[in-house]
């Protein structure tokens, strides 16, 4: 089994070391912009491999990622370099999004070109919005982030220390953003089947003080580490290595990772079943009312970060069959007939129509980022990147209804009369032409979400 790592800085090197010592993959390829660094790390590690399992480690270029089942992306600036080490800064790691998004614009397409079937594992901060960015550049949904897996482990470690029990006996999760708005799920935190709150009460400790101190220690653990050694690297390296091997071995293990949750219109962390294709299923834990509200606030924080750096600005014109056709025929012909135009009227990409579990059809808009340059100076007009807009439509009995847009946005639908003859391969011999029309869909940003679904339901990645 083959794993690749792009970006051999502090986190990338720590991940490589963890993978090598765990020795559960056969081949590890290290890719770095400065190849001499990747070569040096690979060479240094190879000298210790006789004491580990059988694993081949080599430096390489993007082409050497071919055949990898997982590619870890750890490239970009870290918290110390990006100035994200202020405990009083509510943005926290999200401050790094703009700079690291530009790095992903270059890196992700090259990964997909070399290893189109690989799962992309985001380890760069901030991982949650960078998963959405990577999905846009990868044009597939096999992208996950390290998310709050490390936060959950830190939570368990601090609980175990305070309660003087083994870490393995503690069951506790942190969900939402890997950052300042993360949500500690105290309502289901347990040791030996007994709730933490009851154990704290049994020991005559003040739960509110206990809770506040634990959350403070966990939420800003990265800054405490940075103050000591300059970078938070070893814990996240071990976590990233574990996620990579779970994917490579199709283990179906369950822990919180970042994946795009359609009900929230953004990537955030929830306990998930992890396998060869990445996230197989999302398992939303039972939450108290306060935790549910906190998770929504965390999602809103992430949506605002994406809106700031990658606003949705799309006008789209899509041709969809509306009347007198079977759903399968609508999907077959519509998939070829859908095109999209941007604000200047230029075709920005193709859309895809797929069956949505018999409910209707789903239009997955993938707007390509365009190199918009000023005609006089030749310089880019702005640094904004357009993320995918997933427009969920339901077509029944000739009527079209907008179900949901993610990211949340305002959409207006109108129809234009016309005809459609259906896909020749699908139409029965001698069948009359099918009547239809054109669907004009306009999308613009929304400051607040327009809809919400079941947070525990995962509709699966777009492929």
Q: Torsion angle, CA of 154/5/94/233, rounded to 10 degrees? A: 40
Mean pLDDT over residues 158-182, rounded? Answer: 96
Whether 354 and 429 map to the same domain: the answer is yes
Question: The tokens of 176 are what?
Answer: 């939402």
Please report whether residue 102 resides in a domain.
yes
Question: The tokens of 86 are what?
Answer: 């202020």
Which of 309, 326, 351 is the last residue before a domain boundary? 309
Whether 346 and 391 map to the same domain: the answer is yes
CA–CA separation, 461 and 257 (whole Å): 14
Please report whether residue 408 resides in a domain.
yes
The pLDDT value recorded for residue 86 is 79
Enclosing domain of residue 419? 314-445
Q: What is the CATH number of the domain that holds 80?
A: 3.40.50.720
Cis peptide, bond prior to residue 407, ω within 30 of zero = yes
Whether 292 and 383 map to the same domain: the answer is no
The pLDDT value recorded for residue 429 is 55
pTM exceeding the 0.75 threshold for the entire prediction: no
Cβ-based burial of 112 (10 A; exposed 0-12, middle 13-18, buried ≥19): buried
Predicted confidence (pLDDT) at residue 364 exceeds the cutoff of 80: no
Whether 322 and 434 map to the same domain: the answer is yes
CA–CA separation, 456 and 201 (whole Å): 31
| β-sheet with 389-396: strand ranges across | 352-355, 361-365, 389-396, 399-406
The pLDDT value recorded for residue 325 is 32
The pLDDT value recorded for residue 404 is 57
Please report whether residue 186 resides in a domain.
no
Lowest mean pLDDT among 62-76, 233-247, 328-342: 328-342
Biggest alpha carbon distance in the chain?
Answer: 82
Please report whether residue 100 resides in a domain.
yes
Q: How many domains does the chain have?
A: 2
Please report where in the chains the tokens 């206990």 appear, as a residue. Answer: 210
Q: What is the pLDDT of residues 313-348, one digit of tens each?
A: 433 333 333 333 332 333 333 333 333 333 333 323
Whether 112 and 54 map to the same domain: the answer is yes
Which of 268, 292, 309 is the last residue before a domain boundary? 309
Whether 328 and 297 map to the same domain: the answer is no
Whether 359 and 278 map to the same domain: the answer is no
Q: Are 403 and 349 in contact (CB under 8 A)?
A: no
Whether 281 and 335 map to the same domain: the answer is no
CA–CA separation, 367 and 365 (whole Å): 6
Question: The tokens of 388 are what?
Answer: 């995918």
Lowest mean pLDDT among 75-84, 318-327, 399-408: 318-327
Catalytic sites, residue numbers: 178
CA–CA separation, 264 and 348 (whole Å): 26
Residue closest to 433 by CA, chosen among 418, 443, 411 = 418
Please report whether residue 211 resides in a domain.
no
Hey, what long-range contacts does 218-224 have (CB within 8 A, 24 or more apart)?
218/151, 218/154, 218/155, 218/158, 218/174, 218/184, 219/180, 219/182, 220/87, 221/154, 222/79, 223/79, 223/85, 223/87
- Averaged pLDDT score across all residues of the chain: 76
Please report whether residue 42 resides in a domain.
yes
Lowest mean pLDDT among 158-172, 187-201, 350-364: 350-364
CA–CA separation, 328 and 358 (whole Å): 10
**C-alpha pair distances (Å), 64 with each of 3, 19, 143, 310:** 11, 18, 20, 31
Please report whether residue 190 resides in a domain.
no
Cβ count within 10 A of residue 354: 14
Predicted confidence (pLDDT) at residue 7 exceeds the cutoff of 50: yes
Which of 309, 339, 363 is the last residue before a domain boundary? 309
Question: The tokens of 354 are what?
Answer: 């797929």
CA–CA separation, 124 and 72 (whole Å): 9
Question: The tokens of 84 are what?
Answer: 């994200």
Whether 227 and 128 map to the same domain: the answer is yes
Whether 241 and 378 map to the same domain: the answer is no
CA–CA separation, 238 and 426 (whole Å): 52
Q: What is the pLDDT of residues 108-144, one digit of tens each?
A: 999 999 999 999 999 999 999 999 999 988 988 999 9
Cβ count within 10 A of residue 337: 17
Please report where in the chains the tokens 């175990």 appear, as a residue. Answer: 160
Predicted confidence (pLDDT) at residue 400 exceeds the cutoff of 70: no
Whether 292 and 318 map to the same domain: the answer is no
Whether 275 and 391 map to the same domain: the answer is no
Please report whether residue 231 resides in a domain.
yes
The pLDDT value recorded for residue 292 is 95
């Amino acid at each position: 089994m083959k794993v690749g790592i792009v970006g051999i800085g502090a986190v990338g090197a720590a991940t490589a070391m963890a993978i090598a010592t765990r020795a559960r993959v056969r081949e590890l390829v290290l890719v770095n912009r400065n190849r001499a660094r990747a070569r040096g790390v690979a060479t240094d590690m190879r000298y210790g491999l006789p004491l580990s399992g059988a694993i081949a480690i080599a430096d390489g270029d993007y082409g050497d990622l071919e055949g990898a089942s997982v590619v870890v992306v750890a490239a970009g600036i870290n918290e110390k370099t990006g100035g994200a080490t202020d405990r009083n800064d509510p943005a926290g790691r999200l401050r790094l999004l703009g700079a690291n998004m530009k790095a992903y614009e270059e890196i992700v397409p090259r990964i997909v070109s070399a290893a189109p079937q690989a799962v992309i594992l985001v380890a760069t901060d901030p991982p949650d919005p960078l998963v959405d960015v990577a999905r846009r550049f990868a044009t597939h949904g096999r992208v996950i982030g390290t998310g709050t897996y490390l936060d959950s482990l830190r939570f368990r470690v601090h609980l175990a220390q305070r309660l003087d029990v083994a870490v393995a006996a503690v069951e506790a999760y942190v969900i939402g953003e890997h950052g300042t708005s993360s949500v500690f799920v105290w309502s289901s935190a347990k040791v030996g089947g007994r709730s933490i709150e009851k154990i704290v009460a049994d020991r005559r400790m003040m739960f509110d003080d206990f809770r506040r101190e634990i959350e403070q220690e966990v939420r800003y653990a990265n800054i405490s580490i940075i103050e000591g050694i300059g970078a938070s690297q070893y814990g996240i390296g071990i976590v990233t290595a574990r996620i990579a091997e779970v994917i490579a071995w199709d283990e179906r293990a369950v822990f919180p990772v970042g994946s795009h949750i359609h009900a929230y219109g953004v990537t955030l962390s929830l306990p998930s079943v992890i396998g060869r294709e990445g996230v197989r299923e999302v398992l939303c834990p039972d939450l108290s009312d306060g935790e549910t509200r906190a998770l929504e606030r965390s999602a809103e924080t992430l949506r605002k970060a994406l809106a700031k750096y990658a606003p949705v600005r799309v006008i789209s014109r899509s041709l969809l069959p509306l009347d007198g056709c079977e759903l399968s025929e609508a999907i077959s012909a519509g998939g070829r007939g859908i095109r999209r135009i941007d604000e200047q009227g230029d075709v920005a990409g193709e859309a895809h129509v797929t069956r949505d579990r018999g409910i209707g059809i789903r239009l997955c808009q993938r707007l390509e980022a365009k190199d918009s340059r000023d005609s006089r100076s030749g310089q880019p007009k702005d640094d904004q990147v357009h993320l995918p807009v997933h427009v969920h439509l339901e077509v029944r009995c000739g009527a079209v209804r907008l179900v949901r847009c993610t990211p949340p946005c305002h959409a207006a639908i109108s129809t234009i009369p016309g005809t459609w003859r259906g896909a020749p391969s699908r139409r029965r011999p001698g069948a009359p032409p099918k009547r239809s029309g054109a669907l004009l869909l306009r999308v613009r940003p929304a400051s607040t979400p327009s809809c919400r679904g079941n947070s525990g339901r995962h509709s699966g990645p777009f492929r």
